[in-house]
């Protein structure tokens, strides 16, 4: 994102030309901002979430939907929302049970109030080995829990690390 220099003489035509150049550049900013957000989320965020959900260990549901929403603000700004939908996304993000999570805590578990042993009504999260429970249909299930794979947190960290690189690429040309 190099600096751009505009030279101007103090004449009507020169000032008019500068105003035209500034307006032309301003007209490209909306598209560039959208492209920046799109690349950051689609090339980095969604990829990291998919990789981490595909790799977790445990009993949680592996069916998920990940997408992003682009929002425009009244002042011509844009922002994106990265969404990971899954019945068990909090278990995959923060972990359930100590079998996979002994010493593997999400860095923000205390801040959000989630983590091993925080599920309402849980009785067995800190028991070694497995435990059993009855699912919605009444079937007895055995569980080792779910590894805290942190797909959303890791996507956030990776996107933050790529902000400058992607911004330089998107905003490089005038």
Domain ranges across the chain: 12-171
Give the 3-state secondary structure of residue 125: coil
φ, ψ of residue 166 in degrees (nearest 5):
-70, -40
d(CA 100, CA 98): 5
pLDDT at residue 4, as a whole number: 65
User: Is the alpha carbon torsion for 23, 26, 28, 31 positive or negative?
Assistant: negative
- Of the pLDDT bands very low, low, confident and very high (cuts 50, 70, 90), residue 162 is very high
DSSP label at residue 131: E
Full-model pTM: 0.79
For the residues 70-80, what does the mean pLDDT come to? 85
pLDDT at residue 1, as a whole number: 46
- Of the pLDDT bands very low, low, confident and very high (cuts 50, 70, 90), residue 161 is very high
pLDDT at residue 3, as a whole number: 62
Give the 3-state secondary structure of residue 80: strand
User: 131-134 and 65-72 as β-strands: parallel, antiparallel, unpaired?
Assistant: unpaired
pLDDT at residue 154, as a whole number: 96
**Tens-place pLDDT, residues 3-45:** 667 777 788 888 888 888 888 877 888 889 999 999 999 999 9
Q: Greater confidence, 1 or 57?
A: 57
- Of the pLDDT bands very low, low, confident and very high (cuts 50, 70, 90), residue 75 is confident
pLDDT at residue 126, as a whole number: 66
Which residue from 97, 20, 29, 19 is spatially nearest to 60, judged by alpha carbons? Answer: 97
The percentage of residues in the chain with a pLDDT greater than 70, rounded to a whole number, is: 90
Please list, in sequence order, all residues whose beta carbon lies within 8 angstroms of the beta carbon of residue 160, skipping any fewer than 6 positions away. Answer: none
For the residues 66-88, what does the mean pLDDT come to? 88
pLDDT at residue 144, as a whole number: 84
């Amino acid at each position: 994102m190099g600096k751009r220099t505009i030279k101007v003489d103090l004449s009507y035509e020169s000032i008019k030309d500068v105003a035209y150049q500034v307006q032309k550049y301003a007209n490209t900013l909306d598209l560039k901002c959208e492209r920046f957000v799109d690349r950051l989320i689609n090339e980095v965020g969604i990829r990291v979430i998919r990789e981490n959900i595909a790799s977790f260990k445990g009993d949680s549901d592996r069916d998920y939907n990940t997408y992003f929403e682009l929002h425009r603000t009244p002042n011509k700004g844009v922002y994106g929302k990265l969404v990971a939908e899954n019945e068990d996304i909090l278990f995959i993000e923060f972990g359930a049970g100590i079998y996979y999570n002994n010493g593997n805590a999400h860095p923000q578990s205390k801040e959000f109030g989630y983590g091993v042993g925080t599920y309402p009504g849980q009785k067995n999260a800190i028991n070694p080995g497995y435990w059993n429970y009855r699912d919605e249909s009444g079937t007895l299930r055995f569980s080792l829990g779910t590894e805290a794979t942190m797909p959303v947190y890791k996507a956030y960290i990776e996107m933050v690390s790529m902000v400058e690189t992607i911004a330089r690429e998107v905003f490089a040309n005038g």
